[in-house]
Amino acid sequence: MADTESKIHGEWSSRFAFILAATGSAVGLGNIWKFPYITGENGGGAFVIVYLLCVVVIGIPIMMAETMIGRRGRQSPVNAMKTLAKEASADSRWQYLGWLGVIAGMIILSYYSVIAGWALAYVLKAISGTFMDGSAQQIGGLFDSFVKDPGSQVFWHTTFMILTMLVVVRGVQDGLEKAVRFLMPSLFVLLILLVGYAMNTDAYDQGLSFMFNPDFSKITGNSVLTAMGHAFFTLSLGMGAIMVYGSYLPKNVSITKTAFMVAGADTVVALLAGIAIFPLVFANGLEPSTGPGLIFQTLPIAFGQMTGGVIFGTLFFVLLVFAAFSSSISLIEPAVAWMVENKGYSRLKCCVFLGSLVWLVGLGTVLSFNEWADITILGKNIFELLDFLTANLMLPIGGLLIAVFAGWVMKRQHSQDELQLNNKGLYYCWIVSVRYVSPIAVFLVFMHVIGIL
């Protein structure tokens, strides 16, 4: 079984390739676009601490669990769950967990592609020098009028979806691996440069203290839910993306080491993005809680003022697009892998079908910033609703079930075999987290939010 499946989809060429691809999936708009704005909306330091706690206590153990299930199951999440449930003589309905992931991934991609489209549009703005010497007001106005225009957003959303599907069509090694090999290191370097710029603004200390001085009075049940949901979102957990990448992972690779490396890199990128952005927010008298437009309204101010701003600005948005790209391919891969396995269609056919579906749903997000801005459910517009539904509900629920499956359903012998943790203490920490800590934490947060506690 294992061999036939890896022939259908291929396999990573090395451990390094897997780390790159998993980091590529983890590091994306979540780190650079979403983390700063939700930190701003949720009051800063205390939110960051809850998020970091969730990454360490829940995120890393679940990342290990997902990779392990993928590698042992050797197929798309739906079929991997089916196979492993059978192996453990458990209920075959566990496969629905795979389904939850497939659907969550497609919904996330629908709005992810719209935001990535903004980044694409900003590449052109940067190249043409639009940001040069712009004041905070002008740059803010530029963004506002951009999102008010559905036509251009649809154009960029379409472009991004086509580019994504072109990579996904080419499959594991040819498409996914090549796409991420050079992008991650370059993005990292550019972020450091932006941090350097932020350090020279008067508001550097203010920015840092906003991010790292916790004021726990600003924490509400909802912000804990957002922080936890974001830990799943940013690490690409709870929906089978890491599982499907794990299924292409050669047997001899240490799952634990790779999980720590991927989560570490992801966290560093998010923190660097925050450190680059908040000083600019305060230096220009802006509000940290402006929402999804935050990076588009702050970073261009810096590019407009620095020497070589046209080059750096262009490079930054190009890299942001690539970071989004290496995540978006992992958002749709579980669906594509499932369709190729079960329907026997070619990768191309599956990509055209699934890509079009996602594109269509994305139009709802485009319109939620303009024509349909007034349409709200539970006080949220379509974009906010899809984001809440996926990041704050579907991913944590998926993660909780993955933890329960890995901790309670799979035989200990099997998880030990896969994780190959010679150090007994480490295995113990892992099993305690997936059996108790993660499921209970997710459950308590949900209970708190729905007001039962």
What residues line the site for ligand PFF (CB under 6 A)? 25-26, 28-31, 105, 108, 233-234, 236, 239, 241, 327, 330-331
As a whole number of angstroms, the distance between CA 396 and CA 230 comes to 9
**Closest CB to ligand PFF among 330 and 392?**
330
Q: CB-wise, 76 or 234, nearer to ligand PFF?
A: 234
Query: Which of residues 306 and 329 has its CB atom nearest to ligand PFF in the complex?
Result: 329
**Closest to ligand PFF by CB, 95 or 236:** 236
CA contacts within 13 A on the Cβ side of 333: 34
Min. distance of Cβ 22 from ligand PFF in angstroms? Answer: 10
Tokens representing 49? 């601490």
Cβ closest to ligand PFF, residue 28 vs residue 355 = 28
Question: Cα separation of 402 and 62, whole Å?
Answer: 7
- How far, in Å, CA of 203 to CA of 238, rounded? 37
Instruction: Please name the amino acid found at residue 333.
Output: E
Nearest approach, Cβ of residue 30 and ligand PFF (Å): 2
Q: And the tokens for 408?
A: 């309670």
In 3D space, the residue among 380, 321, 389, 323 whose CA is nearest the CA of residue 105 turns out to be 389
Q: Which residue is nearest to ligand PFF (CB)?
A: 30
Q: Which amino acid is at 258?
A: T
User: Of the two residues 112 and 282, which places its CB atom closer to ligand PFF in the complex?
Assistant: 112
Smallest distance, ligand PFF to C-beta of residue 136, A: 26
Q: How far is the CB of 395 from ligand PFF (least distance, A)?
A: 7
Q: How far is the CB of 239 from ligand PFF (least distance, A)?
A: 5
φ/ψ of residue 243, rounded to 5: -65, -45
Taking the least distance from each CB to ligand PFF, the nearer of 29 and 319 is 29
Q: Nearer to ligand PFF by C-beta: 131 or 156?
A: 156
**How many residues in total does the chain contain?**
453
Query: Alpha helix (H) ranges present in 213-308?
Result: 221-234, 241-246, 255-283, 294-305
Task: Judge whether 255 and 60 are in contact, CB under 8 Å.
Answer: no
CA neighbor of 260 nearest in space, from 117, 93, 417, 419: 419
Least distance (Å) from ligand PFF to the CB of residue 324?
7
Dist CA 392 CA 394 (whole Å) = 6
Q: How far is the CB of 139 from ligand PFF (least distance, A)?
A: 24
Output the smallest distance, CB 394 to ligand PFF, in A: 10
Please, which residue, 31 or 267, has the CB nearer to ligand PFF?
31
Q: 332 vs 154, 210, 300, CA distance in Å?
A: 19, 36, 31
Q: Cα–Cα distances in Å, from 114 out to 49, 141, 151, 417?
A: 29, 19, 12, 42
- Residue 39 C-beta: closest distance to ligand PFF, Å: 14
Where b means 16+ CB within 10 Å and e means fewer, 212-238 reads: eebeeeebeeebbbbbbbbbbbbbbbb
